[in-house]
Structure 1
């Protein structure tokens, strides 16, 4: 009897162990409207790219759930002079292939961001030198004082020097040219999840890193990421239980998802600003029936476009209220946002027509507009609405809406006349937008996403002051001046901040971040 009791107890304990393991060994299924275009963390500066690769790779500095700075692959940092930052690196960290993380990888990674093909040049373009003090201490010297440097490098992910050299991936490839190398579809980071399988635009799977140096709060042992560009299909997959989390939920389906017994929608403000840009550099537009000149060089034309767009109408009919019209290129929550200058020019078709007449285009003109159809909330529908609005001032828009896989390479090589873009300052500071979108483009990384080449030398002077000024009051004043100058120039056409809408099973617990990143390490799914 004692033997049988022991067997029964052993069987019970085994069952409990299996049950416990099963409860913890969960597969998380995530869907998004689009896919990461590459696994290379330096090849594209785009939030979905950062969000996906940020589960595999890490920076010296990470972000907490409230988006404040947290130690990452560096345990501490300090300024030793106005132009020098010292970082103490975390010891005992291993890349997924077992290679130790050291200062050599830091020097290599920062150098890699400045190579041809990198989309992160604007993050490190003010670096003068990155030097190794010892295996676990590095210094970054900048060309001028750079008080927000730790914020700026939070998305510069560290790569293994040895792995990149072994796999002929020493430099990132240029996504604008459609080139790939080993880092495009393979990965070797230090993060909480390992890349297991990569099928671009089909499926990407990740497995939990059992040797991760930090804490993984969530319980997902496996994460399967699937791009589903069709809104109806994506919602149906959530409602049927085929996926556990999806982003974004189309605004028209939020109520439906909330009313379903097993699903819910988590909403919140997003730090992304959607805007339109125009080629202001070429003497003749690439895609227009206007020959011999560029109408977008005329501020009156840019202003006419601005005032012909019914942003409240777009909010009401296209976004169903899930947007906040803006006059600024950064959102509330970004350091430097100033509500006193967040006043849009009035929607006024008659005023816009007069501006077009004054500029010499009483009959309007034709121009192509590039727009993604699987990147932002209702992106192609917004572009359709803009096209309809501009027809009222006799502008014929030849809309070219396409998947982000072809859209971004096209506009990033500036093969465009008129385009849509969304921007979330990765540093949560206005300097990021100023340096990447407002600055006159150069070969060092300034103005890297100023795809229409807007340029005002006075704005550039202010951007440099914003970067180096340590007095908060003065710095805020410089930011305000730069925004006001840009607004006066009609440098871009600000549209709105879209709202976040993540759909999920009620079995899922997660943290929604205002930058729209989705760290798998903070997601738990119940069996």
Structure 2
């Protein structure tokens, strides 16, 4: 494994060295900004017996929704387990298992459970099921990954056969929109109790209400879903009788399988295979809007980048943002001013506020002369800046290698620490794992289109994603006020104020937002092209052309 990681880093360094000085765009495969979709590929016209799909990030560890805040689990769960609201391909939000929502006072929400919604076993979805599913997030022993969404929740109770009441310790405008994502997932209480510790495993399975049913999971090989022919929402009835997930992570193997017709599709199509996929008659490539942010997280409170703002500014000035987009992302993305891409603005009236605030921010600046001068002002830190990266993800290594190359040209010493995925994953949850790490690579995103959610988690003291102890009183005041503000436009104005300061302080360093890269077999259509596949039942939409 160690030799493999060294080889990956060496290959990435070779690529960056060859291309960083002149990115002519010869390898760009993206057809142009006009082709970026804010919705789905053309609707399917017919059913198909089966579809084979792969998950680029590999096999999930579990399908327990409390522990599924990641790509593999969420990409699969979105098609089987439903939330109170539904996030749509155009980033709008519509009713899901909750057909009505009321807010009788600023600290209370009342959800009416959809009449006629049933689980796969035919039992109705009840208020008891909803209260149990949401309430499990409050159990500290359960270790929910979604605990941040429930930070201000005082109680969750079934207050009628189809009524669930949520009470808050203080007004929290972010809880309700989170019900369109993982925090709002509803499962059958009785089945969960029966499955016990086996819930969400190959043996224990699931019991949900979505358009596909859990069928079989063979660890290390595949997971198969079958169509729920009794689905409560006929408009989203699945077109495929069977839908099988493979767990092929090697980019070249994935590209070859797609062009050979052995796989029918993948989200996050491998960058290394985009040229091959774009030329294949077996594959339709589609690019869509994404809420993802590629960047660096300042690693801990004692990091060189946390303690020396000048050094942090020098590193930012040395990054060739457009070069990374052109060469490594093959043009399928754009440099990013903030950690919240334009797709996170949503579709409501607040979007205009965010757009104006974003336009007013300075573009990411690549200026080696200024970087050298700023690094000289910072002085010699006495050791390299250590940046961690997942060794198995070649494009991540390439991006960090490009950052290292630019830094070195500006006189900044950067050391890349390539880590196996398991160890790299610990950086996001274990402070001890981040010791000695000045920054680490991330592809991050909010769970729903709302910049406030992202800023809450990374900029407020004590929050889960505040890895470096960032604490700016003006930012905290603005974000706390925004959290309690019911008017979306005024809330956006408060968030924009905080965003301006966070962007200047740079506790995270945004580099680019990638476009969604959807590869779909040419006989199929219907898949959403946008970054909704973690929570929207996307597989149900795919069928015959």
User: Residues of 2 paired with 1:60 and 1:471: CA distance?
Assistant: 22
Deviations 1:77-103 (A, max 9, x none): 122222222111023433334554221
1:237-316 matched pairs, under 5 angstroms:
237-251=257-271, 253-281=273-301, 283=302, 294=304, 296-316=306-326
Tell me which of 103, 118, 123 is aligned to 2:144: 118
Tell me how far 1:154 sits from its aligned partner: 0.9
Tell me which of 177, 191, 194 is aligned to 1:166: 194
**1:152 has 2:178 as partner:** yes
User: Residues of 1 paired with 2:276 and 2:73: CA distance?
Assistant: 29
Deviations 1:17-73 (A, max 9, x none): xxxxxx845111111311334211111323443221111111111123323222211
Tell me how far 1:196 sits from its aligned partner: 1.7
Tell me how far 1:224 sits from its aligned partner: 0.7
Match of residue 229 from structure 1: 249
Tell me how far 1:362 sits from its aligned partner: 5.7
Tell me which of 412, 424, 427 is aligned to 1:394: 412
Match of residue 36 from structure 2: none
**1:323 has 2:333 as partner:** yes
Tell me how far 1:360 sits from its aligned partner: 3.8
Tell me which of 90, 99, 111 is aligned to 1:87: 111
Match of residue 74 from structure 2: 50
Match of residue 70 from structure 1: 94
User: Residues of 2 paired with 1:407 and 1:206: CA distance?
Assistant: 30
Which of 478-487 and 298-307 deviates more?
298-307
User: Residues of 1 paired with 2:92 and 2:289: CA distance?
Assistant: 17
Asked if structure 2 preserves the Cα contact closer than 8 Å seen for 1:86 and 1:140, the reply is yes
- Give the SS at the match of 2:79: coil
Which of 218-227 and 105-114 deviates more?
105-114
Tell me how far 1:367 sits from its aligned partner: 1.8
User: Residues of 2 paired with 1:463 and 1:300: CA distance?
Assistant: 26
Tell me which of 376, 381, 384 is aligned to 2:401: 384
Deviations 1:321-361 (A, max 9, x none): 11210111111132235323442452233433443443342
User: Residues of 2 paired with 1:423 and 1:152: CA distance?
Assistant: 16
Judged with a 3 Å threshold, the aligned counterparts in structure 2 of structure 1 residues 296 and 361 are, in CA distance, closer, same or farther, namely: farther
Q: CA RMSD in A?
A: 2.5
Judged with a 3 Å threshold, the aligned counterparts in structure 2 of structure 1 residues 318 and 82 are, in CA distance, closer, same or farther, namely: same
- Give the SS at the match of 1:183: coil
Asked if structure 2 preserves the Cα contact closer than 8 Å seen for 1:500 and 1:516, the reply is no
Asked if structure 1 preserves the Cα contact closer than 8 Å seen for 2:107 and 2:168, the reply is yes
Tell me how far 1:440 sits from its aligned partner: 1.5
Tell me how far 1:147 sits from its aligned partner: 4.1
Judged with a 3 Å threshold, the aligned counterparts in structure 2 of structure 1 residues 132 and 236 are, in CA distance, closer, same or farther, namely: same
Q: TM-score with structure 2 length normalisation?
A: 0.81
User: Residues of 2 paired with 1:351 and 1:498: CA distance?
Assistant: 27
Tell me how far 1:373 sits from its aligned partner: 3.8
- Give the SS at the match of 2:291: strand
User: Residues of 1 paired with 2:166 and 2:379: CA distance?
Assistant: 52
Tell me which of 507, 520, 525 is aligned to 1:504: 520
User: Residues of 2 paired with 1:115 and 1:354: CA distance?
Assistant: 52
Match of residue 210 from structure 1: 229
Match of residue 457 from structure 2: 436
Deviations 1:446-497 (A, max 9, x none): x222333322233122111111213344322211111111122122101110
User: Residues of 2 paired with 1:400 and 1:386: CA distance?
Assistant: 14
Greater relative contact order (Cα < 8 A, sep 6+): 2
Asked if structure 1 preserves the Cα contact closer than 8 Å seen for 2:375 and 2:412, the reply is no
- The number of residues matched between the two structures is 475
- Give the SS at the match of 2:424: helix
Asked if structure 2 preserves the Cα contact closer than 8 Å seen for 1:384 and 1:399, the reply is no
- Give the SS at the match of 2:474: helix
The unaligned stretches of length 5 or more in structure 1 are 1-22, 170-180, 286-293, 442-446
